[in-house]
Chains A and B, each alone.
Chain A
Amino acid sequence: MNEPVLEMAGVTFAYGERPAVEGVSLRIERGEFAAVVGPNGSGKSTLIRLALGLLRPQAGSVRLLDTPVERFREWTRVGYVPQLSSGVTGRFPITVAEVVAHGRYTGFDPLAIFRRAGGGEVREALEAVGAGHLAGRRIGELSVGQQQRVLVARGLVRWPDLLVLDEPIAGLDVGGEERIYGLLRRLNRERGMSILMVTHDIGTVLREASTVACINRTVSFHGAPHDLTQAELASLYGFPVEVLLHDALHEHR
């Protein structure tokens, strides 16, 4: 068994009275491409925020890269790509290069203001997501899909051990989706980067992920995608789900 990059044990969190996640236990191992699926409001984003220590669980514990998340400090080893549903305000005066450069943050640096934002790492990360030509543009002037790619570049700029993405393809066209999935595939298979991704795209989960967790307040399934049955998906979403895959390795299940 590989060492874990994320371990959640009996985690419960409630906004007010109603628990968003309840008794969730989840283990993601190094080199895994883990996907989290579930209907709207099922606690997927809450799970991600708990994993990163952005929320404190009311019960249970979270360990990130073998450290209790409340004591975790090695943030350069973790890349985070948040959900970007409404986009960045158009008038926010910040360039794409500046946003991506923020991903290089390693702690207090009083001279950071004098450093150039568009250095080699920034350019490399932007080119990896096909956004190298956008470096000098204001992020607020871009489409939501382009902004999403910029945030993926920000998460990648330090080439972290664990990349956490919350619905990274929201707002992307088919070409943009394929570019991001292709990139994640390469990062996972060639660089051994562990990936934890929340998504609604079941087809992609079955094609790309090495493990999948189904969540609707509690985890109803966690295992290999080929073990996920239509009955489990139907139970998760509350109606029959039929997944069509255009992949020779998978049959229509």
Chain B
Amino acid sequence: MDNLFAYSFMVRALVGAGLVGLTAPVLGLFLVLRRFSLIADTLSHVALMGVAIGVATGVHPTLSTFVAVTAGAVVIETLRARGRLPGDVVLAVVLYATLAVAVTVVSTAGGFEVDLLAFLFGNVLSITLAEVAWLGALAVLVLVAVGAFFTELAQSAFDEDLARASGVRVGLVNLGLAVLTGAAITLSVRVVGVLLVGALMVVPVLAGGLLARSLRGALAAGMGVGVLAALGGIALAFYADLPAGSAIVLCAVGLLALAALATGARRGTHRA
């Protein structure tokens, strides 16, 4: 059997995917708790628009994606906070609008030389050392920010009014979370692709929520599941010759099923 570690591109893929697996659930936890988990899907479609605009205008796609996703995150959070439209309606409107823009740009630009499929489904095997470094920097930023503002994030997710009446600046906290989510999606698109990046933010969190009782426990468990899914997915992709993005998400879903079985069995034992 081939040694996965014998190939430097596979090592880069493992490190890059592991960093995304670590970072995505940290942000995803607070999005899921706020019942705002679909923001990741919406922002990944905004990312597609960013890629399309970048390629059509000659701007580096990562830069145009970051600008588009961050702007999208700020618009979504502002509209939601003003309360004129329910959060799910805001997400739906932004998702369809940006997807329509992406399709329009792609068709009017007469097709792209770059492989759009790589953005849709990810191409972690071609990740560069510089991109791994960016993912590492993002992971540090996310871990430090979420660690430092953990109480504020937790209170805002639990009950916004209660958080405000405790002195938490909920608007700023939510905006910060949205911008970090935008940055994480921009960088994660290379690993799992636009269509699956949301899954890596949500599925490990659901597994973590099953495995742990406390919020800190759920955070740690979600990170663990995310990293396991990412590393397992890369290995699965290498040995079974599968697309890496979908293999990572399949591993995450498998771990969620295992967590559900384990907790179900535990409850059954307690009942008996």
Whether a CB of chain A sits under 8 angstroms from the CB of B266 is: no
Assembly CA distance A138 to B218 (angstroms): 12
Instruction: Say which residue of B155, B162, B163, B213 sits within 8 Å of A136 (CB atoms).
Output: B213
Q: A-B pairs with CB below 8 Å: how many?
A: 82
A108: chain B residues within 8 A (beta carbon): 148-149, 152
Whether a CB of chain B sits under 8 angstroms from the CB of A112 is: yes
A115 to chain B, nearest CB (A): 9
Q: Please, how many residues of chain A have a CB less than 8 angstroms from a CB on the other chain?
A: 35
A76: chain B residues within 8 A (beta carbon): 167
B217: chain A residues within 8 A (beta carbon): 93
B165 and A93 contact, CB distance less than 8 A: no
Assembly CA distance A151 to B33 (angstroms): 18
A82 and B162 contact, CB distance less than 8 A: yes
B209: chain A residues within 8 A (beta carbon): 91, 93
A113 and B165 contact, CB distance less than 8 A: no
Chain B residues touching A, range: 20 to 34
Q: Is the interface of B mostly helix, strand, loop or mixed?
A: helix
Binary flags per residue of A126-161, CB closer than 8 Å to B gives 1, else 0: 000000000011100000000000010010000000
Assembly CA distance A91 to B164 (angstroms): 23
B148 and A92 contact, CB distance less than 8 A: no
Assembly CA distance A106 to B166 (angstroms): 8
B163: chain A residues within 8 A (beta carbon): 102
B214 and A105 contact, CB distance less than 8 A: no
Whether a CB of chain B sits under 8 angstroms from the CB of A95 is: yes
Assembly CA distance A164 to B162 (angstroms): 11
Whether a CB of chain B sits under 8 angstroms from the CB of A49 is: yes
Assembly CA distance A82 to B163 (angstroms): 11
Assembly CA distance A28 to B148 (angstroms): 37
Whether a CB of chain A sits under 8 angstroms from the CB of B261 is: no
Whether a CB of chain A sits under 8 angstroms from the CB of B150 is: yes
A93 and B215 contact, CB distance less than 8 A: yes
Question: Known: A92-B158, A93-B212. Contact between A73 and B167, CB under 8 A?
Answer: yes
Instruction: Say which residue of A98, A106, A107 sits within 8 Å of B154 (CB atoms).
Output: A98
B155 and A105 contact, CB distance less than 8 A: yes
A112 and B151 contact, CB distance less than 8 A: yes
B148: chain A residues within 8 A (beta carbon): 108, 110, 113
A72 to chain B, nearest CB (A): 9
B213 and A95 contact, CB distance less than 8 A: yes
A105 and B213 contact, CB distance less than 8 A: no
Instruction: Say which residue of B151, B152, B164, B218 sits within 8 Å of A54 (CB atoms).
Output: B164
Closest residue on chain B to residue A83 by CB atoms:
B161
A64 to chain B, nearest CB (A): 10
Whether a CB of chain B sits under 8 angstroms from the CB of A78 is: yes
Assembly CA distance A113 to B166 (angstroms): 17
Assembly CA distance A78 to B162 (angstroms): 11
B214 and A98 contact, CB distance less than 8 A: yes
Whether a CB of chain A sits under 8 angstroms from the CB of B60 is: no
B150: chain A residues within 8 A (beta carbon): 112-113
Assembly CA distance A103 to B215 (angstroms): 16
A110 and B147 contact, CB distance less than 8 A: yes
Instruction: Say which residue of B158, B165, B215 sits within 8 Å of A52 (CB atoms).
Output: B165
A113 and B151 contact, CB distance less than 8 A: yes
Whether a CB of chain B sits under 8 angstroms from the CB of A33 is: no
Whether a CB of chain A sits under 8 angstroms from the CB of B168 is: yes
A93 and B213 contact, CB distance less than 8 A: yes
A138 and B213 contact, CB distance less than 8 A: yes
A102 and B158 contact, CB distance less than 8 A: yes
Closest residue on chain B to residue A55 by CB atoms:
B161
Question: Known: A105-B167, A107-B167. Contact between A94 and B151, CB under 8 A?
Answer: no
Closest residue on chain B to residue A137 by CB atoms:
B213
B223 to chain A, nearest CB (A): 13
A102 and B166 contact, CB distance less than 8 A: yes
Whether a CB of chain B sits under 8 angstroms from the CB of A99 is: yes
Instruction: Say which residue of A49, A112, A136 sits within 8 Å of B161 (CB atoms).
Output: A49
18 interchain pairs, CB-CB under 8 A: A52-B164, A52-B165, A53-B165, A54-B161, A80-B161, A80-B165, A82-B159, A82-B161, A93-B209, A93-B213, A94-B154, A95-B215, A102-B163, A105-B155, A108-B148, A117-B214, A138-B213, A154-B162
Given pairs A94-B154, A98-B216, A109-B151, 18 additional interface contacts (CB within 8 A): A54-B164, A73-B167, A80-B161, A80-B162, A82-B161, A88-B158, A93-B214, A93-B218, A94-B214, A94-B215, A98-B154, A98-B214, A102-B151, A105-B167, A113-B151, A113-B216, A137-B213, A154-B162
